[in-house]
Amino acid sequence: MVKEGNVLVVDDNRSILAALRLLLEKYFARVVTLPTPNRLAAALREEPVDVVLLDMNFSAGINTGNEGIYWLREIHARRPDVKVVLFTAYADVDLAVRAMRDGAVDFVVKPWDNDRLVASLRNACKLARSEREVKHLKEIRRSLAPEEPMFWGTSPAMTRIREIVEKVASTDANILLTGENGTGKEMLAREIHRRSARSGELMVSVDMGAVPETLFESELFGHVKGAFTDARADRAGKFEVAHRGTLFLDEIGNLPLHLQSKLLTAIQSGRIVRVGSNLPVAVDIRLVSATNRNLFEMVGEGTFREDLLYRINTIHIDLPPLRQRREDIVPLAVRFLERYAAKYHKPLVGFEPEAERQMEAYPWAGNIRELQHTVEKAVIMSEGQRIAPSELLLRPAPPAVALDGISTLEEMERRMIARAIEHHGGNLSAVAQQLGITRQTLYNKIKRYGL
């Protein structure tokens, strides 16, 4: 057995201290004992303590437990990262409730059961180390988090969305963002987080479509060392890292049906259990989800749980495609130009008038993401102070699908997909982007139509 964790035992009975040291040294890396709490502050400074096993009574003839509550509060004031298990010969439910309310993780009665005591201390150690790990991950993520302000533009659709965000961002309401690929759903999620009371914590993003089914629970809920072959150390999941912040679940429509119930359980209970552990961990998150799929239709088809949809959909915001907010195209392009001109050290000051006209007329099937990539390429290719139309490298629009001989919507869809595949030379990612659907949906339609 690998011995992990550092335990500090505080009890005025030296026989008990000796017995506990003999027991606990079999299971923990370091065991320190104190016969009085008077040196507790110094021990907390000098020792790498994970958990304190704290007696509740030290003065002769006093068994109220008030001394234990006092020292519990002192430990939390000095070392809030240290967990405390209280230890007493007097089983008192009211006292246990007070202790838990003041931050104790467990309450053990003397004479103790060895297995029960060891299990309690090991769980407390794991909880302490888990919280430190999450804190460390948050510090790393916070140092790397990009700070990019939201671009609202002037279109009526975005003005309405801004009004909604101003009303709901400060609440903890779960929000569902829908819209085509590239419409800026993650940026809007970050803006909602920035305006929320949780802005001092992290927003953690998860691409649900990119998480393998076999790793779903490990990625979202974490795992403990030895839970499976490659679990060489404890690892916090995205729920824990997002604790007290915002969890952004992108492409939630791609989550397989059999995993949706596990996600729903975690959201409803506010607790997760790491893979390989039996210890529930409370998590406090604000949930923002996003998808380019119609979840209401998926509920009707039986591919998305109705109860999960209503849980994530307290507020629904649908982002418009870029072609429906053409007044925002050039201002967005200017914003991207300034960013990439600085990145690539180009002396650019804007776009030629014809280049602006072409951008305003272009369909932008890939929306803001396509515009961003187009401007970046143009900046790299530019030779003057303004971007010329030829430097935008815009693809000509695919030929329109003639209606002659088409009698059903399915036939129209089949021809449209076939034309798009031909136009993009078989590049299915580009085809999916143009049609505003996911690659998986495109694959399913290609198979269905025998293309």
Would residue 233 count as lying in a domain?
A: yes
pLDDT given at position 39: 86
Whole-angstrom Cα distance, residue 312 to residue 293?
14
**Is there a contact between 43 and 8 (Cβ–Cβ < 8 Å)?**
yes
Rg (CA), the chain: 29
**39 and 73 housed in the same domain:** yes
The CATH number of whichever domain residue 241 belongs to comes to 3.40.50.300
The CATH number of whichever domain residue 49 belongs to comes to 3.40.50.2300
Residue 242, both tokens: 């997002």
274: three-class secondary structure by DSSP: coil
Select from 251, 21, 207, 267 the least CA-distant residue to 121: 21
Among 263, 297, 318, identify where a domain stops: 318
**313 and 180 housed in the same domain:** yes
Among 252, 286, 318, identify where a domain stops: 318
Would residue 398 count as lying in a domain?
A: no
pLDDT in tens, 173-204: 999 999 999 999 999 999 999 999 998 888 99
Angle between helices 409-423 and 428-435 (to 10 degrees): 130
pLDDT given at position 301: 87
The CATH number of whichever domain residue 424 belongs to comes to 1.10.10.60
Strands 175-178 and 106-109: what pairing? unpaired
Would residue 349 count as lying in a domain?
A: yes
Among 259, 293, 318, identify where a domain stops: 318
Residue 182, both tokens: 């590239």
| H-only helix segments in 362-427 | 367-381, 389-392, 409-423
The continuous run of DSSP H or E covering 266 comes out as: helix 257-269
**Is there a contact between 69 and 92 (Cβ–Cβ < 8 Å)?**
no
Would residue 272 count as lying in a domain?
A: yes
Would residue 102 count as lying in a domain?
A: yes
**367 and 301 housed in the same domain:** no
**105 and 90 housed in the same domain:** yes
**123 and 232 housed in the same domain:** no
Would residue 260 count as lying in a domain?
A: yes
**Is there a contact between 145 and 199 (Cβ–Cβ < 8 Å)?**
no
**Is there a contact between 359 and 323 (Cβ–Cβ < 8 Å)?**
no
**172 and 271 housed in the same domain:** yes
**302 and 175 housed in the same domain:** yes
pLDDT given at position 65: 61
Residue 149, both tokens: 């302000």
**119 and 196 housed in the same domain:** no
Burial class (CB in 10 A: 0-12, 13-18, 19+), 187: middle
Angle between helices 439-449 and 409-423 (to 10 degrees): 110
User: Considering its fold, how many domains does the chain have in total?
Assistant: 4
**298 and 329 housed in the same domain:** no
Would residue 140 count as lying in a domain?
A: no
pLDDT given at position 142: 60
Select from 311, 318, 367, 320 the least CA-distant residue to 178: 318
The CATH number of whichever domain residue 370 belongs to comes to 1.10.8.60
Residue 197, both tokens: 């009371």
pLDDT given at position 324: 92
Q: Read out DSSP for 169-184?
A: TTS---EEEE-STTS-
- From first to last of its 451 residues, what are the pLDDT tens digits of the chain? 668 889 999 988 899 999 999 999 999 989 999 998 888 888 888 888 999 999 887 765 455 567 788 888 889 888 888 999 988 776 566 776 777 777 888 888 888 899 999 988 988 888 888 777 777 766 666 655 556 788 999 999 999 999 999 999 999 999 999 999 999 999 999 999 999 999 888 899 999 988 888 889 999 998 888 778 777 777 888 999 899 999 999 999 999 999 999 999 999 999 999 988 888 889 999 999 999 999 998 999 899 999 999 999 999 999 999 999 999 999 999 999 999 999 999 999 999 999 999 999 999 989 999 999 999 999 999 988 999 999 998 877 555 555 556 657 777 888 889 888 888 888 888 888 888 787 778 888 888 888 8
Would residue 290 count as lying in a domain?
A: yes
**111 and 10 housed in the same domain:** yes
pLDDT in tens, 23-75: 999 999 899 999 988 888 888 888 889 999 998 877 654 555 677 888 888 89
**168 and 313 housed in the same domain:** yes
**Is there a contact between 264 and 309 (Cβ–Cβ < 8 Å)?**
no
Domain that holds residue 377: 322-392
**230 and 330 housed in the same domain:** no
